[in-house]
Chains A and B, each alone.
Chain A
Amino acid sequence: MPRPEIENWLRKRFFPHIWCPGCGHGVILHALLRALVSCGKKKEETVIASGIGCSSRMPGYIDACTVHTTHGRSLAFATGIKLANPDLTVIDVMGDGDCSAIGGNHFIHACRRNIDITAIVMNNNIYGMTGGQASPTTPPGSKATTAPYGAIDPPFDICQLAIGAGATYVARATIANPVMCERYIKAAIEHKGFSVVEIVSSCHTQYGRRNKRRTPVDNLNYLKAASVPVAKAKEMSEEELAGKITIGEFVKIEGKPDYTELYEKVIEAAGGKHHE
């Protein structure tokens, strides 16, 4: 059971939730709430935005200022919210399809702008809600309802994509290590600038049952066995890293101005600072 101060952030009126028993996303919800409480955030000043998919139903369960938008577009909505009111803490939760397929353009541009938003990518390698279709992070060879003979598309590495596009905090954890999830989410919220925390989640219902990971425990065991800390990964060859999940903090760049600070300078230059 969550601690009372964590439970206080849940909208119990909204329960039962839609996630399958054993879904990995609950671990991420709990880690996010622990991180928010640990950062001393206020519910009235915290925005949780999302797009569409299983992961994106998370904001409904959080008793804050929550916005469930359109598929892939949540970062664009979140950008408008943050720029309009930079005092708000803005968290954007999304799935792998949301982030790297339909919302890929919004994702890379949010990274580029370095706007002070925390993006949590709940990567379960599949479109779960719509019935197990392949996503841009489905590992090649995996079975999906739209890849019945095994996926052939090379997958995206979401963290590398974020780094390449200019995000200033990038980390990856898996749901097999909830403490690490909380730690990275907390660091991301506290980081000034655009942060990306990819959390490798699991979907035994839509991914696991077609790929020899039928139970939640199978998935946790797989994630534990596949995880390689970033320091160790640096010493491993590409062949050795095949099929592994590198976890850890990849990038932490301090002192780069975020977009809302830069816009304040625009207002100053235009002489609008004291305009009502």
Chain B
Amino acid sequence: MRKAEFWQGNVAIAHGAIAAGCRFFGGYPITPSSEIAEVMAEELPRVNGKFIQMEDEIGGIAAAIGASIAGVKAMTATSGPGFSLKQENLGLAYMAEIPLVVVDVMRGGPSTGLPTSISQQDVMQARWGTHGDHATIAYSPASVQECYEITVKAFNMAERFRQPVLIMSDEVLGHMREKVYVPAKEEIKLVNRKKPTADPEEFMAYKADPEDNIPPMAGFGDGYRWHVTGLTHNEWGFPTNDKDEIAKKSKRLMDKVDAYRDEIVEYDTEFTEDADIIVVSYGSVARSALTAVKLAREAGMKVGYFRPVTLWPFPDKEIEALAEKARRIVVPELNYGQMVLEVERAVHGKADVLPLNMVNGELFKPKDILQFVKEVA
């Protein structure tokens, strides 16, 4: 039976993780994400899972990757400065194809910035923060209910695609309390990584299954011997300088998400049918935006609402389709223009793209967005 809870976004993420089968958390305290670690410290041992507070952010993600290599679903959570510190090992998880969920509860930056205030300044870092090319799956929840549901989904995606999945939350969402319906255990669909069936003597750890282009993964202790490395490697998992092997691996890292782009991409729309102006926003900002759109509709304006739920891959085709009909696309963001670059790329000049930027530690009020919409109408 489903239960109703009154949770903060951070608490919902932690409970979502437990429901998704997460049994390991490695982390380090940082505002405004610490509640995730605190709830995991309490809940994980109750389900025979493990929590460890590491010596730093780098150790937190490293321990989580280690646990995942040992076959356990694992997570780490952080905020801006910690997200920067985690980038190197995040890259290792992409390269070595280790399932992992990383939460960034965004605060103001750069540097120590605004530890207790909202921003959306890490969304490009989510895509390009670690060096080297790789495909990114990053979610942006906009309600506490969604914090729970997206966390379950993030684990499923990490397991399915054998790579890190990011949850880009924000300070307002992390600390805001809302009613959450927690589904019954049997209602939650779980995905577990595909295990190899090969003879251990013949096991090639990075030989992709032709069915989905993703190699099955053995946990350490499962009876298989294999090598994990951050070096570019061949199908045996051994470092290589062979140009064909390098090209094959590098391309597969991109392809495994690109090929399933349409399945991964998620978004939410309201009032877009006849819209002349579309407001594209994500995270907490989308809450203000939806109210602004409704107020604009009440005032007789043809304004629509579009919210990318996956920031990466970005719903570009879907936004382009809207731009066929709409004249203007308004993009409010709590940064100096990051996802707006993706919106511009998506619309191919078919509509005017108008950024609305604010970096003052606060969230847009609906009237801020409404006023901008009226000005540009």
- Given known contacts A13-B238, A44-B225, is B46 in contact with A270 (CB within 8 Å)? yes
A269: B residues at CB distance < 8 A: 45
Contact call B70/A60, Cβ cutoff below 8 A = no
Interface-facing stretch out of A66-74, A142-150, A229-237: A66-74
| A68 B227 Cβ-Cβ under 8 A | yes
What total count of A-B pairs have CB within 8 Å? Answer: 151
**Separation of A260 and B29 alpha carbons in the complex (Å):** 21
Complex formed: what's the CA distance from A269 to B48 in Å?
Answer: 11
Bound: A76/B52 CA distance, A: 11
A45 within 8 A of B: yes
CB distance from B39 to the nearest CB of A (A): 13
Find B89's partner among A63, A68, A70 (CB 8 Å cutoff): A70
**Which of B54, B74, B229 touches A68 (beta carbons < 8 Å)?**
B229
> Which partner residue on chain B sits nearest A105 by CB separation?
B55
In the complex, how many residues of chain B place their beta carbon closer than 8 angstroms to a beta carbon of chain A?
49
- Cβ of A54 within 8 Å of any chain B Cβ, yes or no, is no
When the two chains form their complex, are residues B46 and A79 in contact, meaning their CB atoms are under 8 A apart? Answer: no
B54 to chain A, nearest CB (A): 6
**Please, which residue of chain A has its CB at the minimum distance from the CB of B222?**
A44
Contact (A88, B238) CB under 8 Å given A68-B227, A73-B62, A270-B45 = no
Question: Is B228 positioned at the interface, with any CB of A under 8 Å from its CB?
Answer: yes
B interface, over-half SS = mixed
Does B308 sit within 8 A of A, measured CB to CB?
Answer: no
Closest 3 CB pairs of A and B: A80-B66, A80-B63, A76-B62
Do A272 and B47 touch across chains, with their CB atoms under 8 A apart?
A: yes
A67-126 contacts to B (CB < 8 Å): 67-70, 73, 76-85, 87-88, 105-106, 108-109
A residues apposed to B, CB below 8 Å? 11, 13-14, 43-45, 47, 49, 59-60, 63-70, 73, 76-85, 87-88, 105-106, 108-109, 263, 266-267, 269-276
Question: Roughly how many angstroms separate A60 CA and B227 CA in the complex, as a whole number?
Answer: 7
Contact of B221 among A45, A60, A66, A275 (CB under 8 A): A45
Which residue of the partner chain, among A47, A69, A73, A267, contacts B45 with CB atoms under 8 Å? A267
User: With A13-B238, A267-B45 known to touch, is A80 a contact of B74 (CB < 8 Å)?
Assistant: yes
Bound CA span A11–B203, Å: 13
Contact of A79 among B42, B56, B63, B220 (CB under 8 A): B63
B48 touches A79 (CB 8 A): no
A-contact 0/1 string along B53-90, CB 8 Å cutoff: 01110111011111111111010000000000000110
